[in-house]
């Protein structure tokens, strides 16, 4: 069980690091002024490599190992539902990052600098929320319909 938890945490770190790096990388490639080298062909960008070879496999490994930890531990608590909700939002941000990579590879479109900043901010808030939920393990508040 401990090795599954370690695998889950390591994969989560790689996933979130890749997701945090993507908006910065996309913003930097959209603001270049002078081309000193030949522009890479479509589907040959560093952002695509980070997304497809680092962030996505790490996301799959984090989700699979987290599911394995859940199945071995067999716990179903309020904080876990909150965490899974936040992870679902993180997956939605992952999809948004992929769409932004596709948008950035289209040379005819303008860079979406404000969108990159928004994505980075939302990712930071989600990551902080996930860490807080896991460490604090909040209990069910009294008065909720399902807290009987």
pLDDT in tens, 73-107: 887 788 888 999 999 999 999 999 999 998 888 77
**Among the residues of the chain, which ranges form H helices?**
2-30, 46-49, 56-73, 78-105, 113-136
pLDDT at residue 12 is higher than 60? yes
Structure tokens belonging to residue 143 = 């008065």
Does residue 148 lie in a domain region?
no
Distance CA 59, CA 11 (A): 7
Say how many C-beta atoms besides its own lie within 10 A of residue 90's C-beta: 22
C-beta of residue 73 within 8 angstroms of C-beta of residue 1: yes
Does residue 131 lie in a domain region?
yes
pTM: 0.81
Does residue 146 lie in a domain region?
no
Least confident span in 23-32, 65-74, 86-95, 139-148: 139-148
How many domains in the chain? 1
State the pLDDT confidence band at 148, using cuts at 50, 70 and 90. very low
Does residue 123 lie in a domain region?
yes
Place of tokens 């497809």: 52
Domain that holds residue 51: 2-136
pLDDT in tens, 28-61: 876 555 555 665 555 567 888 999 999 999 999 9
Does residue 145 lie in a domain region?
no
């Amino acid at each position: 069980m401990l090795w599954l938890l370690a695998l889950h945490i390591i994969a989560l770190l790689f996933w979130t690091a890749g997701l945090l790096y993507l908006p910065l990388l996309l913003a930097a490639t959209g603001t270049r002024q002078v081309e000193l080298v030949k522009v890479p062909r479509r589907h040959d960008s560093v952002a695509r490599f980070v997304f497809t070879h680092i962030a996505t496999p790490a996301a799959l490994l984090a989700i699979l190992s987290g599911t394995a930890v859940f199945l071995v531990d067999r716990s179903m608590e309020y904080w876990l539902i909150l965490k899974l909700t936040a992870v679902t939002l993180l997956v939605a941000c992952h999809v948004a990052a992929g769409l932004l990579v596709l948008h950035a590879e289209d040379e005819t479109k303008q860079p979406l600098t404000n969108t990159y900043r928004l994505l980075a901010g939302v990712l930071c808030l989600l990551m902080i929320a996930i860490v807080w939920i896991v460490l604090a393990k909040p209990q069910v508040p009294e008065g909720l319909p399902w807290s009987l």
